[in-house]
Amino acid sequence: MCTDAGCSHASLPRVNIKQTHGDAVTVEESNDKLVLCPQCDWMVKLPDIKQGDKAVCPRCHTTLSALWVEPVLQPVSCAISALIMLVFANLFPFINMQVSGIYNQIKLMEIPEAMMSDDYASLATLFIIFIQLIPAFCMVAIILLCLKVRLPYRLKVIMGRIIYLAKVWCMVEIFLVGVLVSFVKLMAYGDIGIGPSFVPYCLFCLLQVRAFQCLDRYWLWQTIQPAPELPHTPQVGLSGMEQGLRSCSCCMAILPIDEHQCPRCHTVGYARRRNSLQWTLALLVTSIMLYIPANILPIMVTEVLGNPMASNIISGVIILWEDGSYPVSLVIFIASIMVPTLKIMAIGWLCYDASGAGKLGNKLDREKMHYLYEVVEFVGRWSMIDVFVIGVLSALVRMGRLMSIYPDVGAVLFAMVVILTMIAAMMFDPRLLWDRKKMINQ
């Protein structure tokens, strides 16, 4: 399933897979034509996909496989270009600001340095990991795997696993939106300009998103190693659980339900994530406990002419609205207040429904709940905009007693809320929603 802006297949035509009704169909073909949907556990026979097409699950509409035109050249060329742009983006000044004749400019790597100097090493670490290290590693891994560079098999497996575990944590495009929001906030105080590395960074953002978009998980793992043989002939139109089969959460291989370690990617897994609801609820409760002080405590301190003024998320939205920056105020309000609140409520609702406590519904209700899960996975990471805005402001606005901005403890708490809710959504097993569908049919 696509979790972020970098893996969407919306531009490809869809190849519909007919869903079996009534008796299941026995498939005598090879294992590489069969896929267990990782989102609803439905056994599907893949059609012959032409270049430029994608195949989706007939039950939950999750993209199972896509074949892009030039499936090797596109992701490799985009990844190489992205790495080149990332190097240029770090070599030169990124943005600059001039207030009352005082001029200041920063490079990308000076943003975490400023956070470190303010004793906020945690925020600096998040910036380096989410904005620099993870995207760079994923681009290198895409190049090596797609070009089939001779590497130890174990190393290929590690890179393949990390790509799909880490891509949700690539927040380059979110940081770029945060920079644009920072521009609007600072225009009231002085002149804002872009440096030579700003355009390369924008290109890096677009290219890394495109590289992820053109990389199909099913195709990639088939090139690393074919899927293991099935213990028995599966049936299309039944769930894997009903046939004693499960899907590997990493490489999509179909495995016996009692085989806990995948022989292809060595990922340990089960028919359903163990204690999925318990872990999800525990993370959700923890995020709620942090969310209250994150909204009350100040997230940054603005010092003007030696007078410090602390502000939290809500006061920041109000100030922007009163200054007439209505679009930016709405963006911050939606991303930092509305999205986390609705996400916490949505995850709680999903857990309630999947636990069997909710009222049983029809297939349409299951589809709606699954759609809710996909929305939760996609939008949650965008709440990091406010954290990145604070990082940019605290690094750029360093003009002594005239004007300076510093992060505060609320920013750390809010970042933890976003991270915990993201992990909670990842720990939730969406197949539990479709297990409820089986209960309806019984």
**What is the C-alpha radius of gyration for the chain, rounded to an integer number of angstroms?**
24
pLDDT, residue 82, reads 96
Say which residue the tokens 């005082």 belong to: 102
CB atoms within 10 A of CB 73: 12
Asked if residue 277 and residue 407 are part of one domain, the reply reads yes
Whether the CA torsion 150, 154, 155, 161 is positive or negative: it is: positive
Residues 294 and 239 in one domain: no
The reply to whether 283 falls in a domain is yes
Q: What are phi and psi of 5, to 5 degrees?
A: -65, -20
Q: Tell me if 374 is assigned to some domain.
A: yes
Residue 357 covered by a domain: yes
Total Cβ atoms within 10 A of residue 362: 10
Note the pLDDT of residue 437.
56
- Burial class of 47 by CB neighbour count within 10 A (0 to 12, 13 to 18, 19+): middle
Same domain, 350 and 290: yes
The pLDDT score that the predictor gives to residue 135 is 94
The predicted pLDDT at position 32 comes to 56
pLDDT of residue 183: 84
pLDDT of amino acid 355: 81
Q: Per the structure block, which two tokens stand in for 9?
A: 């297949």
- Single-letter code of the amino acid located at 264: R
Q: Is residue 15 part of a domain?
A: no
Check whether residue 297 and residue 424 sit in a common domain.
yes
Residue 245: which domain range?
Answer: 34-67+226-256
Is residue 290 domain-shared with residue 416, that is, in the same domain? yes
Q: How far apart are CA 297 and CA 299, in angstroms?
A: 7
CATH number of the domain that 429 lies in?
Answer: 1.20.140
Per-residue model confidence as pLDDT tens for the chain (442 residues):
343 333 334 445 444 444 433 333 333 344 557 889 988 999 998 888 787 788 888 888 888 888 888 888 999 999 999 999 999 999 999 998 887 778 888 899 889 988 888 788 888 999 999 999 999 999 999 999 999 899 999 999 999 999 988 888 999 999 998 898 888 778 777 788 899 999 999 999 999 999 998 898 888 898 888 888 887 778 888 888 888 999 998 888 899 998 889 999 998 988 888 899 999 999 999 999 999 999 889 888 888 777 888 888 888 788 778 777 777 788 788 878 888 889 999 999 999 888 876 555 556 677 888 889 998 888 888 888 888 988 888 888 887 777 788 888 989 999 999 999 999 999 999 998 888 655 444 3
Strand 14-15 versus strand 53-56 pairing type: parallel
Is the residue at 238 inside a domain? yes
The β-bridge partners of 254 are: 247
- Cβ atoms of 97 and 381 within 8 Å: the answer is no
Q: Are 394 and 185 a contacting pair, CB within 8 Å?
A: no
pLDDT of 357 reads 62
Judgement on whether residues 249 and 361 belong to the same structural domain of the protein = no
In this prediction the pTM is 0.85
Q: Is there a single domain that holds both residue 347 and residue 237?
A: no
Residue 121 lies in a domain: no
Domain presence at residue 356: yes
Same domain, 327 and 289: yes
Q: Parallel, antiparallel, or unpaired: how do β-strands 102-106 and 25-26 relate?
A: unpaired
Cα separation of 79 and 379, whole Å?
25
CA angle 236, 238, 243 (to 5 degrees): 100
Secondary structure in 3-state letters for the chain:
CCCCHHHCCCCCCEECCCCCCCCCEECCCCHHHEEECCCCCEEEECCCCCCCEEEECCCCCCEEEEECCCCCHHHHHHHHHHHHHHHHHHHCCCEEEEECCEEEEECCCHHHHHHHHCCCHHHHHHHHHHHHHHHHHHHHHHHHHHCCCCCCHHHHHHHHHHHHHHHHHCCHHHHHHHHHHHHHHHCCCCEEEECCCHHHHHHHHHHHHHHHHCCCHHHHHHHHCCCCCCCCCCEECCECHHHCEEECCCCCCEEECCCCECCCCCCECCCCCCCHHHHHHHHHHHHHHHHHHHHHCCCEEEEECCEEEEECHHHHHHHHHHCCCHHHHHHHHHHHHHHHHHHHHHHHHHHHHHCCCCCCCCHHHHHHHHHHHHHHHHHHHHHHHHHHHHHHHHHHCECCCCEEEEECHHHHHHHHHHHHHHHHHHHCCCHHHHHHHHHHHC
Residues 6+ apart with CB under 8 A from 315: none
Q: What do you get for the CA distance between the two ends of the chain, in Å?
A: 28
Is residue 317 located within the same domain as residue 401?
A: yes
Residues 348 and 248 in one domain: no
Answer yes or no: is 152 within a domain. no
Return the sign of the alpha-carbon dihedral for residues 273, 3, 261, 248.
positive
Tokens of 108: 């990308």
Residues with Cβ within 8 Å of 406's Cβ and at least 6 positions away in sequence, in order, are 118, 300, 301, 303, 394
Domain count, the chain: 2
Rounded Cα distance between 117 and 91, Å, is 21
Quote the pLDDT of residue 364.
Answer: 61
* Whether 320 and 409 share a structural domain: yes
Q: What tokens were used for 90?
A: 């770090």
CB 2 within 8 Å of CB 8 = yes
262-286 b/e with 16+ CB inside 10 Å = b? bebbebebebbbeebbebbbebbeb
Instruction: Find tokens 């905009």 and name the residue.
Output: 385
Residues 415 and 294 in one domain: yes
